[in-house]
Amino acid sequence: MISSLVERGVVVSEGHSMASYAEAKAGIEAGARYATHLFNAMPPLHHREPGLIGAVLEDERMIIGLIADGEHVHQSVVRLIWQALGEDRLNLVTDAMAALGMPPGLYHLGDFDVKVDESTARLADGTLAGSILTMDTALRNLIEFAGCSLQEALPTLTSTCARLLGIDGRKGHIAAGYDADLVLLDSNLKVVSTFVGGQRLYSL
């Protein structure tokens, strides 16, 4: 059980869908260092049973992924999480699915019919099927929702991720000797070009 938790970075306990506070703490002590998609498919934070959410938020060793689309997590909660974690512990993720980039409409994706609108992808019962969030939109959203600067927000996509993965000696910064994997943004923080190993692979 614990070994599976460490490999995945997610606490799952036998007998119920998500870990209790005590189980989550045990997983962290065993080596888990990342919590994915904070709040998604997790029991709510409760003052008597903090659960997985409380355990990962309070432990400074944990880096936490958050879908900052304003749909999976309310804007005010994104702001609270930013205030609690800051750039060193928050990692923006998209949870993007195959509907990303598709115009509004009804699509059959995998085994499900998914209705796509301007900001969400939902199943027939209204449940979020995933996200259609792009990473540059997540960056803009964090700046807007949390009121932070671009310089403060950027590590949530770059150096914090590299440190988590143990590759911060060659990725996560623009510096001599680092891999030249870069994303060029315009003044509106939208993607203009991407480079891998110094080679331009995409450009508007």
Q: For Cα atoms 8, 13, 18, give the angle at the middle one, nearest 5 degrees.
A: 80
How does pLDDT run across 34-72, given as a tens digit for each residue? 999 999 888 899 999 999 999 999 999 999 999 999 999
Q: Is residue 125 situated within a structural domain?
A: yes
Catalytic positions: 95
pLDDT band at 144 (very low <50, low <70, confident <90, very high): very high
| The predicted structure's pLDDT at residue 17 | 57
| The predicted structure's pLDDT at residue 25 | 96
How does pLDDT run across 108-118, given as a tens digit for each residue? 998 999 999 99
| The predicted structure's pLDDT at residue 176 | 95
Phi, psi of 91 (to 5 degrees): -125, 115
DSSP output for 98-149: TTTTPPSEEEEETTEEEEE-SS-EE-TTS-EEEB---HHHHHHHHHHHH---
Q: Is residue 127 situated within a structural domain?
A: yes
How does pLDDT run across 154-188, given as a tens digit for each residue? 999 999 999 999 999 999 999 999 999 999 999 99
Decide: 47 and 113 in contact? Cβ < 8 Å: no
Q: Is residue 74 situated within a structural domain?
A: no
Residue 69: name the closest of 23, 11, 154, 132 by CA. Answer: 132
- Identify which has the larger pLDDT, 13 or 75: 75
Residue type, 124: A
Hey, is 66 helix, strand or coil? Answer: strand
| The predicted structure's pLDDT at residue 18 | 74
Q: Is residue 14 situated within a structural domain?
A: no
Q: Is residue 109 situated within a structural domain?
A: yes
| The predicted structure's pLDDT at residue 4 | 38
Q: Is residue 66 situated within a structural domain?
A: no
Class of residue 32 by CB neighbours under 10 A (exposed 0-12, middle 13-18, buried 19+): buried
Residue in the block written with tokens 């331009």: 200
Domain that residue 113 falls in: 96-132
Report pTM: 0.87
Q: Is residue 110 situated within a structural domain?
A: yes
Measure the CA–CA gap between 145 and 72, rounded to whole angstroms. Answer: 14
Hey, is 13 helix, strand or coil? Answer: coil
Q: Is residue 115 situated within a structural domain?
A: yes
Measure the CA–CA gap between 40 and 175, rounded to whole angstroms. Answer: 36
Domains contained in the chain, number: 1
How does pLDDT run across 62-102, given as a tens digit for each residue? 999 999 999 999 999 999 999 999 999 999 999 999 999 99
Residue 197: enclosing H or E segment and its boundaries?
Answer: none
Residue 3: pLDDT over 50: no
